[in-house]
Structure 1
């Protein structure tokens, strides 16, 4: 079954690092986005790393994040079952210590392949302590999950936590070595000048050399830890290539998908507005569903599945482009991962 867990994800990242490619780990805030990304992964023959945050889980669970995670995980697992690429799920930005109870629910659920715990807004020692406790909780859980943590501060807003550009700072290589040795994390998100949210054209000082220095320091200390870049929506294509060379194999992307969703829907409804919105001179009684009007809406265009398919097709195109950019297109490890099943 192509829905995979932590040990298989670890092998996938290791293979990617050995061969100089990576993945855009894609946050999913709406189901049509997820289906579109999966369509694109199939078209590209690329394994797919999905992500879901606590806020998104709460949305899926109508306020209950734990229920939403279980529902989303079931949806992903069942949808991926018949697909020919591997699908992984990361729970993104579980903020510590405030969301520790949610982390416990994540671990107990057995749903994700990995979890990202985030105490990067805390002083170094507190970040280490929170992360170390989280790693132990995950290791004691029922499934093998990878643990990602963050060192440094990325500007922008993510799940209600906002960092101003003045507060952001680059990850120090020596601190990275100390952090990995004291926490035993599987992946390390580094601060390299990117920004959460809408970042294009913001004069970002993106520094692939920082990631390279961190990767070198970890390697020289005997640690083979994949690096992660958050806030990658504002990263130029040539910088992605530099980050891949610097040991980054996971790039988080979220805002781009939200924009593509909204833009595709906005364009569709603008183009077909006359089939959905009544003329100004029409009484347009929505309560009677226009029973007393000569005008009536056209279900060809207002059925949610119609615009949903447009959104899915657009997101599939985006995912194909991203898979080609990071080099994972044509490299699905489905057969390798499932040979022993």
Structure 2
């Protein structure tokens, strides 16, 4: 079914928190990744949240993020119509104050079910002021859109912005309550020791107990607000389960999908290298498509749709598995039962 607005997404998160399951909110950096993930979510009956950053929107729009965001939204909506699950779009990491214009674009297009605004690299008071202003701008939209913001610092690189490990810090529960009350955000991303990007060789001190303390503090203050963990690609299944128990229904995942895309394509072309590249000694005559050579490439393997299909199949399996890990498989609020 077509993707939904923030009110519907809020209901999905509320149901997940009540039942103790969650979602991997999936960043989409290439459209074959989107098709594969959506196919996998539909296969197992899981509602799905797809994310696009300004950088990815600019890629889709050949340098123009407004064009790219509009194109991504249209693509997502048409493909969502073919599914039997709820499909949502989150615009990820809109940096404040530098990307205020892009936030206006997000509001203007009506593409987003939610938007994550990020001033977490600023001091607390400036973070509060910038996010509060952003919330007001989003609330002016006719389309109901949830607002997510971040308190704390997550190490690693996200959307070209790097945070060194020594500059990362855990979210303080008391500050979290104050932040939510003063900004009016709908979701809160917290720092719990995860890292954006590849975490190989890094000894992550992941703290589900911090998430539990933040959730407890918010509930005691009367705020039933979903928590978000960024940098979830490196988490184990056991850590995911601990975060679910602590009230976290949304986990951002990006790097895993990028790797699966590259690995699937690399394995495919490595296996069929002799069908794509000429053998040693043969003229590399691409201009005439090897019309006068003894060797010629095999379109069975070099057509982009072939490797694209392999990527889609792989990502569908990945999403189906991840939905089982977070428990959202079979829990769609929209699938016919």
TM-score (norm 2): 0.99
Aligned counterpart, 2:240: 240
Flag the 1:162–1:129 CA change in 2: closer, same or farther, 3 A.
same
Q: Which SS does the other structure have where 2:189 is aligned?
A: strand
Q: Which SS does the other structure have where 1:89 is aligned?
A: strand
Aligned counterpart, 1:312: 312
Is the 1:152–1:190 Cα contact (8 Å) retained in structure 2? Answer: yes
Following the alignment from structure 2 to structure 1, what is the Cα–Cα distance between the partners of residues 279 and 335? 56
Is the 1:233–1:253 Cα contact (8 Å) retained in structure 2? Answer: yes
Aligned counterpart, 1:205: 205
Aligned counterpart, 1:130: 130
Aligned counterpart, 2:285: 285
Aligned counterpart, 1:339: none
Aligned counterpart, 2:148: 148
Following the alignment from structure 1 to structure 2, what is the Cα–Cα distance between the partners of residues 57 and 335? 29
Aligned counterpart, 1:176: 176
Offset of residue 284 of structure 1:
2.2
Offset of residue 112 of structure 1:
1.0
Is the 1:200–1:233 Cα contact (8 Å) retained in structure 2? Answer: no
Is the 1:195–1:232 Cα contact (8 Å) retained in structure 2? Answer: yes
Aligned counterpart, 1:31: 31
Q: For 1:178-197, what aligned pairs fall within 5 Å after superposition? A: 178-197=178-197
Q: Deviations over 1:228-261 (max 9, x none)?
A: 0000011111010010011100000000000000
Is the 1:284–1:293 Cα contact (8 Å) retained in structure 2? Answer: no
The alignment's C-alpha RMSD in Å is 0.9
Which one is further off, 193-202 or 261-270?
193-202
Q: How many residues align?
A: 336
Following the alignment from structure 2 to structure 1, what is the Cα–Cα distance between the partners of residues 226 and 57? 26
Q: Which SS does the other structure have where 2:162 is aligned?
A: strand
Following the alignment from structure 1 to structure 2, what is the Cα–Cα distance between the partners of residues 174 and 3? 35
Aligned counterpart, 1:250: 250
Is the 2:227–2:248 Cα contact (8 Å) retained in structure 1? Answer: yes
Following the alignment from structure 1 to structure 2, what is the Cα–Cα distance between the partners of residues 39 and 160? 29
Q: Which SS does the other structure have where 2:94 is aligned?
A: strand
Which one is further off, 196-205 or 117-126?
196-205
TM-score (norm 1): 0.97
Aligned counterpart, 1:322: 322
Following the alignment from structure 1 to structure 2, what is the Cα–Cα distance between the partners of residues 21 and 200? 27
Which one is further off, 199-208 or 267-276?
199-208
Q: Which SS does the other structure have where 2:150 is aligned?
A: strand
What stretches of structure 1 of length at least 5 have no aligned partner? 337-341
Aligned counterpart, 2:105: 105
Is the 1:2–1:334 Cα contact (8 Å) retained in structure 2? Answer: no
Offset of residue 161 of structure 1:
1.1
Q: For 1:3-152, what aligned pairs fall within 5 Å after superposition? A: 3-152=3-152
